[in-house]
Amino acid sequence: MKTPNDIPVYVSHKSVRFIDQLRGFIRYRGLSYQTEKTYVHWVVNFIRFSKMAHPLTLSEPEVEAWLTHLVTDRNNSANTQRIALNAIVFMYREFLRKPLTDLNFKYAKVHQRIPTVLSNVEAQAIIDHAKQPFKLMFSIMYGSGLRQAECLSLRLLDIDFDNLILHVRQGKGRKDRTTLLAQSLLPDIKAQIELVKQLHCTDLKSGLGSVYLPDALSRKYPSAATSSKWQYLFPSSRPGPCPRTREIRRHHLHHTAVTKHLRRIMRSLDIPKHVTCHTFRHSFATRLLESGYDLRTIQELLGHSDVKTTEIYTHVVKRGKLGVISPIDGISEENAGYAFA
């Protein structure tokens, strides 16, 4: 079993390692684990670029050289460079209390990328070629607009059958939200829940059955970890050690298993597009726009903090069936019935 990548690794509060102390500070500030991993990645990258020098011995010139290196030597995008800058600024300003001033470095060029979107026919073809439980996962991502990590993190208690709602807990930015649940998926979801409950009963008989709970829930509700409602909707095929406590638990499916299954399907289909799990989310938003739903509603369903992020999908719609009409498409209509001498 691959190690779960969404459970915070154990860090001793007595550790004197710089990175461990940085991790502890990030957790003290209440940032998400994804932000922690991202910041640590770029801080380590900066330290290695600086020949393993301690950040306290470095200043603006070294940071400028590194940020320029990301663009000129590594060809990183503007978004990647901005994330790296955020990580370094956070480390110096918040953690080391040594704010950086007047940085002068080469900025990466900003390229506006239009998201890849599947048609209904293409999305259905991918879903039809998938095996369970991946078929249900792709259906939920396309039908509810979930990110891959949000879909993997779904637990049984997150599904509201009566109100046709999915609860997304601690999504991107550690924000909770609700989104719609497609009625056509109810039979498959109920069947998957029954499989999860049977697997959980087997685990309990084997002395297992405990699942990871975020934050302090395990202390607040000691019996919740072995309750069926807290089990993942898409559990892993076998239990493994928790990276935080080393306790043997059954986590959710690893994201690489989902990615590999989708790649195998795409190799067998004649769809000339670069498709990832996130493409289902893009397609969900585009379908809603085409159906006439307003941007604010779509923004809330997707969990975007800024409506400008949601507006990118209008570029897709305006260039498609509901947008500008090509001049050549009107030639036959204008000349219908007209005979040239």
Query: Is 281 part of the annotated catalytic residue set?
Result: yes
Q: State the catalytic residue, choosing from 17, 260, 273, 278.
A: 278
Does residue 175 contact residue 302 with C-beta atoms inside 8 Å?
Answer: no
How many CB atoms sit inside 10 A of residue 84's CB?
A: 22
Query: What's the helix, strand, coil split of the chain in %, to 5?
Result: 55, 5, 40
Query: Is 147 part of the annotated catalytic residue set?
Result: yes
Q: State the catalytic residue, choosing from 155, 261, 287, 304.
A: 304
Q: Strand pairing partners for 222?
A: none
Cα Rg of the chain, angstroms: 24
For the chain, the first-to-last Cα distance in angstroms comes to 77
Coil, helix or strand for 252? Answer: strand
Query: Is 106 part of the annotated catalytic residue set?
Result: no
Residue 141's alpha-carbon distances to 32, 217, 250, in angstroms, are 22, 27, 23
Residue 240: Cβ-neighbour burial (10 angstroms; 0-12, 13-18, 19+): middle
Q: State the catalytic residue, choosing from 200, 250, 254, 281.
A: 281
113: which 2 tokens? 């990328």
- Alpha helices by DSSP H, listed for the chain, are 18-28, 33-49, 60-72, 78-90, 120-129, 134-144, 148-152, 186-205, 217-220, 255-268, 277-290, 295-302, 307-310, 312-318, 331-334
Q: How many angstroms separate the CA atoms of 167 and 179, rounded?
A: 7
For 260, residues 6+ apart whose C-beta sits below 8 A from its C-beta are none
- The closest alpha carbon to 142, from 122, 114, 169, 162, belongs to 122
Q: State the catalytic residue, choosing from 23, 147, 200, 250.
A: 147
Return the DSSP state at 213.
-
Query: Is 167 part of the annotated catalytic residue set?
Result: no
Q: How many angstroms separate the CA atoms of 310 and 297, rounded?
A: 10
HSE-CB of 284 using CA atoms within 13 angstroms: 25
Q: State the catalytic residue, choosing from 82, 172, 174, 177.
A: 172
Residues with a known catalytic role: 147, 172, 278, 281, 304, 313
